Structure 1
Amino acid sequence: MSDITVLVLDDHEVVRRGICDILERADGIAVVAEASTVAQAVRRAEAVRPQVILSDLRLPDGTGLDVIHHVRAKLPDTHIVVLTSYDDDEAKAAARNAGADLFLAKTAGSAEVLQAVRDAASGREHGQHIAVHEDDVVARLTPMERRVLDLVGAGLSNREIAEKLGIAEKTVKNHVTSVLAKMGLQRRTQVVAWATARRAQSFRG
């Protein structure tokens, strides 16, 4: 069986690379292109004809709706998973009406990301909203793990976190391992991507 081919579209490089990292480590999935704008996505999608596009809704030169409309007209066999970092039912309804297959929160864990891609590629559950909301993710963590999460997301090293919190570096490492496990992530770069999406959500309101 051939790999599921995916194009990842997001204007935040750290978020985009975090998603790609999750996909590239999975069996049976291949990231064949990345894009940060509507123009790039349209051009590269036509070139590589991916089975699935993971698309942000808000982009520098337009919206994910522009991509969806183009793909539906030119690449009818390509499925689209819309990435969301905020609750906007009107935007989601518009995306669904335009032809989006699934919705996925940027704060979702790696398992949800992979499942969304596989579901979209197989055509299962058209229109399903797959999302792990920020509050649900954070609620899994202890108070100390939340502090460690914030500091990892800010780009601090284990040593810097240990100094800031007044705890042993080994203890920080244990907390980071626990945070990754609870969030369904594998690398701290993915935590940074999660934190970036969280800040973007707060900024956009």
Structure 2
Amino acid sequence: MIGVVLADDHEMVRTGFRMVLDAEDDIAVIGLVGTGQDAVDAARRLRPDVVLMDIRMPGMNGLDATRLITAMPDAPRVVVVTTFDSEEYLRTAIHAGASGFLLKDAGPRLLIEAVRAAASGDALVSPSITVRLLGEIAASHPATSAPHDLSARELEIATAIARGRTNEEIAADMFITLSTVKSHARNISVKLGARNRVEIAAWVWRARLIR
């Protein structure tokens, strides 16, 4: 069972998200909070698998809370859920260690997929913003020439990750097993020093491997 804490200062949002997630057999909402500090406290106390984190909340904002949560030992995964598809927010969320970035209007299906992806070590960014915002991040930074020792297959998988493909989709596209994809993804993370798939995607865009 995937334990989830919902952090949002609007009760209607928390209630709506809870109804969507609790309807799934493998997901249980174990905490509801309305501030960033309460999200940090709930993460320590309840030890959820995933925290769904709003950005704009009273007191400590969601990005600062994300940074504190992802620094915890055996940290839960954090998926930032926001109304604002801002490059600055996405970039800051990536640097804070978020395992996903979702718009609140993305719909129930993507909300559920984001929770499951985060719990399994993957990451999901709203398809409506993935290409545009990661492209903007790349355009605003010089192309990276950082050395790497990724194999041709690892580069292919890193590029697929940057296009928003899930492990299952990559396995089907490349006619390889799911465990092979996961093994490659772990190796890519180690070689790039990336904490999650979002950071892998950002590296691919900065390296201009896709446009």
Which TM-score applies when normalising by structure 2? 0.58
Tell me which residue corresponds to 1:20: 18
Assess, with a 3 A threshold, how the Cα gap between structure 1 residues 75 and 21 changes in structure 2: closer, same or farther.
farther
Tell me which amino acid in the other structure corresponds to 1:82. Answer: V
Tell me which residue corresponds to 2:59: 61
> Equivalents in 2 of 1:84, 1:76: separation in Å?
25
Tell me which residue corresponds to 2:76: 78
- The alignment partner of 1:80 has SS state of strand
Assess, with a 3 A threshold, how the Cα gap between structure 1 residues 45 and 77 changes in structure 2: closer, same or farther.
closer
Which consecutive unaligned segments of at least 5 residues does structure 1 have? Answer: 134-205
Tell me which residue corresponds to 1:40: 38
Tell me which residue corresponds to 1:130: 126
Tell me which amino acid in the other structure corresponds to 1:41. Answer: A
Counterpart contact for 1:12–1:36, Cα < 8 Å: yes
Tell me which amino acid in the other structure corresponds to 1:130. Answer: S
- Identity rate of aligned residues, in percent? 39
Counterpart contact for 1:52–1:80, Cα < 8 Å: yes
> Equivalents in 2 of 1:92, 1:8: separation in Å?
19
Assess, with a 3 A threshold, how the Cα gap between structure 1 residues 59 and 75 changes in structure 2: closer, same or farther.
farther
Counterpart contact for 1:81–1:101, Cα < 8 Å: yes
Counterpart contact for 2:40–2:68, Cα < 8 Å: yes
Tell me which amino acid in the other structure corresponds to 1:89. Answer: E
Aligned residue runs from structure 1 range 51-200, under 5 A: 51-124=49-122, 126=123, 128-131=124-127
Divergent runs of 4+, >4 A: none
Tell me the CA shift for residue 72 of structure 1.
1.6
Assess, with a 3 A threshold, how the Cα gap between structure 1 residues 111 and 58 changes in structure 2: closer, same or farther.
same
Tell me which amino acid in the other structure corresponds to 1:74. Answer: M
The Cα RMSD (Å) is: 1.5
> Equivalents in 2 of 1:66, 1:111: separation in Å?
27
Aligned residue pairs total 129
Tell me which amino acid in the other structure corresponds to 1:51. Answer: D
Tell me the CA shift for residue 90 of structure 1.
0.6
RCO (CA 8 Å, sep 6+): is it higher in 1 or 2? 1
Deviations 1:38-76, CA, capped at 9 Å, x for gaps? 121111111110000000011111211121111122244
Which consecutive unaligned segments of at least 5 residues does structure 2 have? Answer: 130-211
Assess, with a 3 A threshold, how the Cα gap between structure 1 residues 132 and 24 changes in structure 2: closer, same or farther.
farther
Which TM-score applies when normalising by structure 1? 0.60
Deviations 1:91-131, CA, capped at 9 Å, x for gaps? 1100111100101111121111100000000011x4x4125
